[in-house]
Amino acid sequence: MTSNANIVYLDNNATTRVDPAVRDAMLPYLSESYANPSSPYTFARAPMLAIAQARRQVAALLSAEPEQITFTSCGTESSNTALHSALRARPGRKSIVTTSVEHPSILRYCERLESHGYNVTYLPVDRNGQLVLKELELSISDDTAIVSVMWANNETGILFPVREAAAAAHCAGALFHTDAVQACGKVTIDLSDGLIDLLSLSAHKFHGPKGVGALFARDPDLLSSYLFGGEQERGRRAGTENVPGIAGIGKAAELAGAQLREHPADIAEMRDAFEQTLSGACSCLLTGTQGARLPNTSHIVFPGVEAETLIHLLDFDHICCSSGSACASGSSEPSHVLTAMGFSRQDARSALRVSFSRFNSSHDAEFAAGRVVEAARRLSGKHRC
């Protein structure tokens, strides 16, 4: 195993380091406190209380109520459940509106719905990766059951106007879901205004463990369990509760909230310094800088450079970053997000995603910037890339 001490991990939109405090919060439920939370004896009380506490912690991160939070196994399950529930809550409606740059957990589910007779509108984005609100409004009708627009794009970090999109959905009596898997823990999410009906999140994107997600529902009675079985999570998610994972997502939410309150600018400062070094030394193109974007994400196109090779060169220096969404890794197809933004297939293959977290230092940003510049120069065959 590569020693962790050498690693400069800049792929925090793929997954994140589990915070040691999160791991410590999980350990009792991987050790002495192993009962099922619903069991009829005192020994089950600690896991039951751990779940209640985690529900409060996740709710607090979203300025929501604990009963609005249902735990799942991942962001994908949360998003699948959101769409599944919305279609049951609006049974007469046969249309879905979403964007062409959503995560596969939305896109693949929508394709499946199409094969079952639903009409799905995949809205384009403009050259800056942004949704055109007017187009969204025009695409919603009284046949629309649900509008699903991500809070932040996982590849570019671009933030979407989810409140305005939710308002447009509600005007037509449709529900609104947002995949906030990439946004949660990176920007403040305040659901107290009641505009968002359904929101997905995943622990491992904000220093929690893999294998646990959550689904916010403004009206929890709206949810239909996507898995069929026992009555766990008040009948809203069948399957024995993943108590250590749930304790972990709770602690991770608490820590993410503290980071956003106490050090709101730290991560953006690292990212900005990284980009400044790059811009000064390269003719590269920074994506998404025209509008609001995640404070931790840098998305850069190096014309003429194969991003896959760039990533391999950076790997020699133990720098971890990505050419697109983790889910598409290993695929040779260019990113659907970049092609939707109008990039050529060639340019779409030249994009690097560098994503920071609170476990990075300004030294990481500086070191990585230097290496990226050097590698990009080498690959473009130019003295200056």
Rounded least distance, CB 153 to its own copies, Å? 15
Contact flag: residue 63 with its own copies (CB under 8 A)? no
User: Which phi and psi angles does 61 have, rounded to 5°?
Assistant: -60, -30
Question: Which pairing describes strands 175-179 and 198-202: parallel, antiparallel, or unpaired?
Answer: parallel
String of contacts with its own copies for each residue 43-62, x by CB under 8 A: xxxx----------------
Of 161, 173, 220, 239, which one interacts with its own copies (CB under 8 A)?
239
Binding to its own copies (CB under 8 A): which residues in 287-316? 308, 311-312, 314-315
Percentage helix, strand, coil for the chain under 3-state DSSP, each rounded to 5: 45, 15, 40
Contact flag: residue 94 with its own copies (CB under 8 A)? no
Of 56, 65, 66, 73, which one interacts with its own copies (CB under 8 A)?
73
Burial class of residue 38 in the structure, from the number of CB atoms within 10 Å of its CB (0-12 exposed, 13-18 middle, 19+ buried): middle
Catalytic residue among 74, 110, 282, 327: 327
Burial class of residue 3 in the structure, from the number of CB atoms within 10 Å of its CB (0-12 exposed, 13-18 middle, 19+ buried): exposed
Rounded least distance, CB 248 to its own copies, Å? 8
Of 7, 138, 171, 258, which one interacts with its own copies (CB under 8 A)?
7
Decide: 62 and 185 in contact? Cβ < 8 Å: no
Contact flag: residue 194 with its own copies (CB under 8 A)? no
Query: 96, 27, 38, 30: which is closest to 237 by C-alpha?
Result: 38
The question of whether 327 is a catalytic residue gets the answer yes
Rounded least distance, CB 222 to its own copies, Å? 18
- Please identify, using beta-carbon distances, which residue of 93 and 204 lies nearer to its own copies: 204
Rounded least distance, CB 328 to its own copies, Å? 8
Binding to its own copies (CB under 8 A): which residues in 122-161? none
Contact flag: residue 114 with its own copies (CB under 8 A)? no
CA distance 352 to 350: 7
* Beta-ladder partners of 216: 69, 199
Choices 16-24, 161-169, 256-264, 344-352; region in contact with its own copies by CB under 8 A: 16-24
CA distance 152 to 184: 9
Question: Which positions are catalytic?
Answer: 327
